[in-house]
């Protein structure tokens, strides 16, 4: 095999490796959409986590094991004249689901910064999965002043995705996702 043969084999390996990494990247859990919307001085979020509910996670939920997804959320104000943006706050939003075999219901518990936020029950597994991976109008932040511009939110999710050697839990973490830019408009009196 001459140098052209080596070159052809090398090009094929590079193409195969690049294609495989793109396939692995596409199947990794990720925040698919993150939309921030101000309402007065309160900032509401709408988001969806894609690729997280694999068969192992669904089996965990249905077996009655507590399944939790933790969301790290940060609020920033863009600073066009500096190297980094101004951090305005951060919160940890947590959603847990547990199946109660006695009542045949799923218990969903939400916390914000380790403080109770919401607790509900349902018999619908689809509702459980929807509540674990998405939210509409999550009141994540309240800013003290109005008239702020160039704000945005970043978010990542962390959850138990499986086991190493069948006994060691392994966390999976998404990359950071960034929301749209928005402003908190002044309140007119």
* CB-based contact 97:67 (threshold 8 Å): yes
Rounded distance between C-alpha atoms, residue 114 and residue 81, angstroms: 36
Of 64, 83, 53, give the one whose Cα is nearest residue 160. Answer: 53
Mean pLDDT of the chain: 81
Q: Can you give the pLDDT at residue 17? A: 42
Whether the pLDDT of residue 179 is over 90: the answer is: yes
Whether the pLDDT of residue 14 is over 90: the answer is: no
153-177 tens-digit pLDDT: 999 999 875 555 556 666 788 999 9
Whether the pLDDT of residue 180 is over 50: the answer is: yes
Whether the pLDDT of residue 66 is over 70: the answer is: yes
Give me the DSSP letters along the chain: --HHHHHHHHHHHHHHHHHHHHHHHHHS-EEEEEEEEEETTEEEEEEEEES---HHHHHHHHTT--EEEEEEEEEEE--TTSSSPEEEEEEEEEEEEEEETTTTEEEEEEEETTEEEEEEEES-HHHHHHHHHEEEEEEEEE-S-S-EEEEEEEEEEEEEEEEETTTEEEEEEPPPEE---EEEPPPP-
Rounded distance between C-alpha atoms, residue 84 and residue 4, angstroms: 48
Whether the pLDDT of residue 5 is over 70: the answer is: no
């Amino acid at each position: 095999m001459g140098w052209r043969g080596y070159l052809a084999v090398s090009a094929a390996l590079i193409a195969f490796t690049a294609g495989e990494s793109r396939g692995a990247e596409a199947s990794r859990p990720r925040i698919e959409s993150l939309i921030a919307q101000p309402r007065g001085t309160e900032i509401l979020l709408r988001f969806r986590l894609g690729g997280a509910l694999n068969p192992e996670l669904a089996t965990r939920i249905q077996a009655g094991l507590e399944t939790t997804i933790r969301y790290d959320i940060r609020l920033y104000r863009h600073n066009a004249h500096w190297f980094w943006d101004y951090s305005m706050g951060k919160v940890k939003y947590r959603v847990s689901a547990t199946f109660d075999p006695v009542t045949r219901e799923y218990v969903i518990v939400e916390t914000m910064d380790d403080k109770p936020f919401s607790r509900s029950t349902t018999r619908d597994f689809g509702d459980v999965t929807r509540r674990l991976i998405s939210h509409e109008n999550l009141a994540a932040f309240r800013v003290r002043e109005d008239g702020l511009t160039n704000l945005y939110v970043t978010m990542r999710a962390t959850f138990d995705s499986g086991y190493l050697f069948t006994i060691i839990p392994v966390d999976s973490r998404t990359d950071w996702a960034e929301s749209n830019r928005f402003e908190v408009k002044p309140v007119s009196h």
